[in-house]
Chain A
Amino acid sequence: MKLDTSGLESAEPVWATFNELADGFSAAPSFELPNTTDFDGFQKEAIQMVKPAKGTTTLAFIFKEGVMVAADSRASMGGYISSQSVKKIIEINPYMLGTMAGGAADCQFWHRNLGIKCRLHELANKRRISVTGASKLLANILYSYRGMGLSVGTMIAGWDETGPGLYYVDSEGGRLKGMRFSVGSGSPYAYGVLDSTGMICQLKKLQSWQEEL
């Protein structure tokens, strides 16, 4: 089956045409797929061996001065803590952040890829990409890999010309705009705190602030 690798392609591969050394290592390598009739079963087994880091709480909300993003730093594989210092808040570029929940490698790779695409947008259009645009780029890439077993639950938070922006994007292809989100296995508990009285007041303040704008 032909996989959509447009997510990996950047601009025209400038040097690939005259640089024979790079044959086999061209600018847009495609994902190699296992030669099996049962792709899903194979992925299930392979993931057993890879054991993606699990157990995460990340949250973000928009407030008067911008966007607040917070995340824990533990990565666990079953009962074993594989790391206590994971950076789950990823800098896509100097004015946009992404959070990591789900597969660590998936999040790291695709956020980096998104950063590349955002920079190319800047160079091509002479202006920064909006948070709306960046989240759409990521959501479209993840949608094209839907069903392949990627595990990404991320929030794209940033500041653009329209002010603070916050989007939730996941590997099912979902993309939501909102004022506050929490993602990960600890998200129900975070929502409990975010949604309680403190935040209700904040929301009222935000509404009046938005009317001012």
Chain B
Amino acid sequence: MTKQQANWSPYDNNGGSCVAIAGADYCVVAADTRMSTGYNILTRDYSKLCKLADKCVMASSGFQADVKALQKHLAARHLIYQHQHNKQMSCPAMAQLLSNTLYYKRFFPYYSFNVLGGLDNEGKGCVFTYDAVGSYEKVGYSSLGSGSTLIMPFLDNQLKSPSPLLLPAQDAVTPLVEAEAVDLVKTVFASASERDIYTGDKLEIVVINADGIHREYMDLRKD
């Protein structure tokens, strides 16, 4: 007698791509706004970006219901932190919190691929990239989601920074200026939309710098 398999899965993949780039005094986080299921588009106007703290923005692709639950959980924890410590959480602190939050669902994972971008305590850009169960790494740039295999090699070519494992420790942040980094992100998404069916519609770009958070949009292919 063969074992009965489940004919319902609690997970779905809503597609989409996310990118984050860290600069010397800024951080760019971007994601497309298409939400799909299977070969259908659910909406062309869904934001995958979430402001977790003053200088900290998270972009997530994967299963958006799990992403929404994760964002709520983190927002609640941040509020408690603010009440207890009378200050905003720094980006590295939020990075560790996100890692632990993801790992506590190790046996029933959040199907959410996250990239966290922001400024650290010194005002330097930092990007943290995660897998679905919480392993994370501080990097100079990262791309996740359905278009990541198309985007990442291009970012490697343009932004390749010395390995953080080398000694003496070298900066992983890109020497590019803010405007150049935003331009690079637009180029990269335009290219990804050409060949990835799950990426397109509109691009949402958030830039975090000393002045605060600045948001802009760009149109992408709608097919």
Give the interface of A toward B (CB within 8 A): 21-22, 25, 29, 31-34, 36, 38, 41-43, 45-46, 49-53, 73, 80, 82-87, 103-109, 148-150
Q: Mark B123-148, 1 if CB is under 8 A from A, else 0.
A: 00000010111111101000000000
Report Cα–Cα, A45/B11, bound state, in Å: 10
Does B154 lie at the interface of the complex (its beta carbon under 8 Å from any beta carbon of A)?
A: no
Please measure, in the bound complex, the distance between the C-alpha atom of A43 and the C-alpha atom of B11, giving whole angstroms: 13
Residues on A with beta carbons closer than 8 Å to the beta carbon of B10: 34
Question: Chain B interface secondary structure, helix, strand, loop or mixed?
Answer: loop
Binary A-proximity of B191-217 (CB < 8 A = 1, otherwise 0): 000000000000000000000000000
Within the complex, what minimum Cβ distance (angstroms) separates B170 from chain A?
11
Q: Does B108 contact A (CB under 8 A)?
A: yes
- The CA of A124 and the CA of B131, in the complex, are separated in Å by 35
Stretch at the interface among B26-34, B53-61, B95-103: B95-103
Q: Output the residue of A25, A82, A106 with the most chain B CB within 10 A.
A: A82
Whether the pair A108, B9 counts as a contact (CB closer than 8 A) is no
Q: Is the CB of B132 within 8 A of A32?
A: no
Please measure, in the bound complex, the distance between the C-alpha atom of A29 and the C-alpha atom of B73, giving whole angstroms: 13
B109 and A49 form a contact (CB under 8 A): yes
| Other-chain contact of B105, A21, A32, A73 (Cβ < 8 Å) | A32
B164 within 8 A of A: yes
In angstroms, Cα B179 to Cα A56, docked, is 38
Beyond A22-B80, A105-B135, whether A36 also contacts B6 by CB under 8 A is yes
Closest to A83 in B: B137
Instruction: Say if the beta carbon of B83 comes within 8 Å of chain A.
Output: yes
User: Which chain B residues numbered 60 to 107 have a C-beta less than 8 Å away from chain A?
Assistant: 76-77, 80, 83-84, 99-100, 102-107
- Could you tell me the distance between the alpha carbons of A108 and B128 in the complex, rounded to whole angstroms? 15
Residue B189 is within 8 A (CB to CB) of chain A in the complex: no
Chain B residues in 8 Å Cβ range of A46: 11, 108-109
Minimum C-beta distance from B193 to chain A (A): 20
User: In the bound complex, how far is the Cα of B132 from the Cα of A60, in angstroms?
Assistant: 29
Q: Once the chains bind, are A87 and B109 in contact (CB under 8 Å)?
A: no
Interface centre among B84, B129, B132, B139 (most CB of A within 10 A): B132
Which of these, B9, B102, B103, B107, contacts A43 with CB under 8 Å?
Answer: B107
Q: Which residues of B contact A29 (CB under 8 A)?
A: 104
Pick from B3, B6, B131, B163: contact of A42, CB below 8 A. Answer: B6
Q: How far is the CB of A102 from chain B (nearest CB, A)?
A: 11
